[in-house]
């Protein structure tokens, strides 16, 4: 399934694809809910642009959890170093 061009792009760019999916969903909801409000074209454009930017900000904030803490990285590196030393010592 990873050989499909669209899936391959999504796997390489998870944040951009998440941004696109979230933005499309938010714009669809915006258009559905505000369809009878009587907005002018420039107002629609401004709302859609703002909605897409908010979707990007949401994905950016969510991606903060993906980044490793420096303390966690140091602990993992130390544990891997100890395991490698033990493996060398037993061999």
Please give the sequence-ordered ranges of beta strands (E in DSSP) within 5-89, or none if there are none: none
> Which of the two residues, 38 and 87, has the higher pLDDT score?
38
The tens digit of pLDDT for each residue in 30-80 reads 999 999 999 999 999 999 999 999 999 999 999 888 776 666 666 666 667
What was the pLDDT predicted at 12? 87
Domain count, the chain: 1
User: Do the beta carbons of residue 55 and residue 26 sit within 8 Å?
Assistant: yes
The parent domain of residue 21 ranges over 5-90
**pTM of the predicted model as reported, rounded to 2 decimal places:** 0.67
């Amino acid at each position: 399934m990873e050989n499909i061009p669209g899936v391959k792009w999504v796997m390489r760019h998870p944040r951009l694809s998440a941004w696109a999916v979230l933005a499309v969903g938010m714009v669809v909801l915006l258009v559905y809910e505000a369809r009878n409000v009587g907005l002018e074209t420039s107002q629609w454009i401004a709302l859609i642009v703002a909605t897409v930017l908010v979707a990007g900000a949401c994905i950016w904030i969510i991606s903060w959890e993906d980044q490793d803490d420096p303390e966690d990285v140091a602990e993992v590196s130390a544990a891997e170093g100890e395991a490698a030393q033990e493996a060398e010592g037993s061999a």
